[in-house]
Amino acid sequence: MSNEEEARIIEKAKAGDKEAIRQLVDEYAPVIFRFSYNICRHQDRAEHATQETFLSILKKLHQFDNRSKFSTWLYTIVSNHCLMLARSEKTRRHMSLDDDENSVPEIAVEHWENDPEASVERADLKAHLDDAIDKLAPEYKVIFVLRDIEGLSTEEVSNITNLSVPAVNTRLHRARAFLRSELTPIFKEHDHE
């Protein structure tokens, strides 16, 4: 949907137009669910975070003032719900990255290309990546998912998380370094096969 069309639908939704609200839900539910799933790593928790996000959106839609993109505003709300959900799960353990800078050199996390011959290996590596991402503390996971999976800019992530750009970069660096340290043995194992 175009920016003008989105703005028109948002204004109608603010006025209580049920069809406009349905259009916003239809447009953004898949994005919010995918993001929630990437943070929560669990279907039920992702569905819960998505539902809570839309309840918040309906209550707070009148507060949206078009100064930021609507999607940025949505990511802010869903990030807060995912972080609250993660903090409420006291039994889960996450790796703390605040204590050490991790000396693994900086390299980009890349998406794997479609290669039919390597699909089994990619599935195995993806499972290892999912496990490693799941070990990240929620505040690092949110930054990593927004920046490296959702593909948002550092400035957008800064606006969504209400962190400075340097703080976003620090958390992203630590998350990437942790993931590299978790995945390096797996890649070495695959190289020897």
pLDDT tens for each residue of 50-106 = 898 888 888 899 888 878 888 888 899 988 888 887 777 654 444 444 444 333 333
pTM of the model: 0.70
122-141 per-position pLDDT tens digit: 667 778 788 888 888 888 99
Spatial distance between the Cα atoms of 96 and 163, rounded to a whole number of angstroms? 18
Q: What are the residues facing 95 on neighbouring strands?
A: 136
